[in-house]
């Protein structure tokens, strides 16, 4: 029973983080593409800012993934 | 950590783990490459010198966009070292035998935490050097002296996030590659390794970009 709860907790950790990060990164990418379409000569700057923002959001998902790894290692 | 990342031997009180040995090999290879590239500098460069010049040019352009002119000139070597070290470290996970024969350095929290601590010390040094002790410490009271705990927390959290971001990404890549190899060997890990190519580079770039923005913030 405890193993099941631990597995469920790990699943919840990754699911919430993945959904939130996907939504947020999708919005960021949309705005970035709009900006590049409007001003193609700024594409380099926009791309760097986009990558930095995406990585910062990705980090939050990675925190959830780390918790999931730590939990899964406690099963059994 | 798994057995390949365990302690191999001890030099005095310090334990040498598999990751440290991998880093030594990396340092040796990079040092030899640098020596060979700069041995006889010619006006019309040979291939290795050309590669080195390309790397320096690209790095300079990259930091010019992130740092002020003075900081870019002064701190280019340190930042480039961080970038190249993390990049080579991440890509060593793509070599055959990674994880089983040798340990990938950045896939362990010890290495990334060490990098983050070095980055933290470097940021403080840059801030103190640019503004002097008193002005730098006073800057924590800006814009409003109640912000002091928030500024302190921010300074402490930055290296944590740097370390965890890099560790989580690379450890996750290695683990997923391994698990995919268990499911369908030789073919399925290729997908993840392709992503590792992209994400290893991006993580190195993000670490360095964030470090540059922290230094820029500390030196105002």
Give the model confidence (pLDDT) of B101-143 as tens digits: 888 999 889 999 999 999 999 999 999 998 888 988 888 887 7
Query: Where are chain A's structural domains?
Result: 2-72
* Best residue in B169, B200, B211 for a mutation probing chain A (most A CBs within 10 Å): B169
For B136, the domain range is 3-219
Nearest Cα residue to B116 out of B106, B127, B126:
B106
d(CA B85, CA B114): 13
CB B194 within 8 Å of CB B180: no
Of the pLDDT bands very low, low, confident and very high (cuts 50, 70, 90), residue B3 is low
Query: What's the whole-number mean pLDDT along residues B188-208?
Result: 91
Query: For the segment B132-177, what is each residue's pLDDT rounded down to a tens digit?
Result: 889 888 888 877 888 888 889 989 999 999 999 999 999 989 988 9
Chain A residues near residue B66 by CB distance under 8 angstroms: 48
Contacts of B17 (CB under 8 A, 6+ apart): B1, B5, B6, B7, B8, B103, B108, B110
- The percent of residues above 70 in pLDDT, for chain B, comes to 98
Q: Which of B66, B168, B206 sits opposite A65 (nearest CB)?
A: B168
Of the pLDDT bands very low, low, confident and very high (cuts 50, 70, 90), residue B54 is very high
Q: Which of B168, B203, B209 sits opposite A66 (nearest CB)?
A: B168
Chain A residues near residue B157 by CB distance under 8 angstroms: none
Query: For the segment A35-69, what is each residue's pLDDT rounded down to a tens digit?
Result: 999 999 988 889 888 988 998 898 889 889 888 98
d(CA B30, CA B87): 12
Q: How many helices (DSSP H) and strands (DSSP E) are in chain A?
A: 2, 0
The pLDDT of residue B1 is 41
- Write down how long chain B is: 220
Indicate the helix (H) or strand (E) that contains A73. none
Please count the structural domains in chain B.
1
CB B21 within 8 Å of CB B4: no
Q: Which of B161, B168, B206 sits opposite A52 (nearest CB)?
A: B206
**Rg of chain B over all Cα atoms, to the nearest angstrom:** 20
Q: Which tokens is A5 given?
A: 């709860």
Nearest chain B Cα distance for residue A66, angstroms = 6
Q: Concatenate the DSSP letters of all residues of A9-24 into one string.
A: HHHHHHHHHHHHHHHH
Nearest Cα residue to B103 out of B161, B178, B23:
B23
Q: Looking at the predicted structure, is the pLDDT value of residue B8 above 90? A: no
Q: Looking at the predicted structure, is the pLDDT value of residue B2 above 70? A: no
Interface of B with A in 55-84 (CB under 8 A): 65-66
The pLDDT of residue B161 is 92
d(CA B116, CA B161): 9
Query: What's the whole-number mean pLDDT along residues A8-31?
Result: 94
Query: What's the whole-number mean pLDDT along residues A30-35?
Result: 95
Q: φ and ψ at B175, to 5 degrees?
A: -65, -45
CB B52 within 8 Å of CB B44: no
Furthest CA-CA distance within chain B: 60
pTM for this entry: 0.88
Which residue's entry shows tokens 């998902």? A61
Highest CATH level, class, for A2-72: mainly alpha
User: In chain B, where do the E strands start and end?
Assistant: 7-11, 14-17
Query: What's the whole-number mean pLDDT along residues A17-27?
Result: 95
The ipTM assigned to this model is 0.79
The pLDDT of residue B41 is 79
Query: For the segment B183-193, what is each residue's pLDDT rounded down to a tens digit?
Result: 888 888 888 89
Task: Please indicate whether, in this complex, the C-beta atoms of A62 and B161 are within 8 angstroms of each other.
Answer: no
- The percent of residues above 70 in pLDDT, for chain A, comes to 100
**B172 touches A at CB < 8 Å:** yes
Average pLDDT value for chain B? 89
Please state the separation of Cα B131 from the chain's center in Å. 26
Task: Please indicate whether, in this complex, the C-beta atoms of A59 and B168 are within 8 angstroms of each other.
Answer: yes
């Amino acid at each position: 029973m405890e193993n099941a709860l631990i597995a469920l907790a790990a699943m919840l950790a990754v699911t919430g983080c993945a959904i939130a990060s996907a939504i947020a990164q999708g919005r960021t990418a949309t705005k970035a593409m709009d900006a590049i379409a409007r001003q193609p000569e700024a594409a380099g700057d926009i791309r760097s800012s986009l990558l930095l923002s995406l990585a910062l959001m990705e980090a939050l998902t990675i925190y959830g993934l780390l918790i999931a790894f730590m939990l899964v290692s406690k099963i059994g | 950590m798994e057995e390949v990342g365990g302690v191999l031997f001890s030099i005095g009180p310090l334990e040498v783990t598999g990751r440290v040995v991998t880093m030594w090999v990396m340092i040796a290879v990079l040092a030899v490459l640098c020596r060979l590239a700069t041995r006889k500098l010619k006006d019309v460069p040979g291939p290795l010198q050309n590669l080195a010049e390309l790397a320096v040019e690209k790095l300079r352009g990259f930091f010019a966009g992130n740092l002020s002119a003075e900081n870019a000139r002064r701190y280019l070597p340190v930042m480039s070292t961080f970038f190249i070290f993390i990049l080579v470290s991440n890509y060593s996970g793509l070599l055959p035998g990674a994880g089983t024969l040798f340990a990938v350095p950045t896939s362990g929290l010890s290495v990334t935490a060490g990098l983050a601590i070095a980055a933290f010390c470097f940021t403080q040094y840059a801030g103190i050097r640019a503004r002097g002790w008193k002005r730098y410490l006073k800057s924590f009271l800006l814009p409003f002296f109640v912000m002091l705990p928030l500024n302190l927390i921010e300074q402490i959290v930055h290296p944590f996030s740097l370390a965890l971001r890099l560790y989580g990404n690379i450890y996750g890549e290695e683990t997923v590659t391994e698990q995919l190899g268990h499911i369908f060997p030789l073919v399925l890990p290729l997908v993840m390794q392709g992503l590792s190519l992209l994400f290893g580079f991006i993580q190195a770039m993000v670490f360095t970009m964030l470090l540059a923005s922290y230094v820029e913030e500390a030196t105002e």
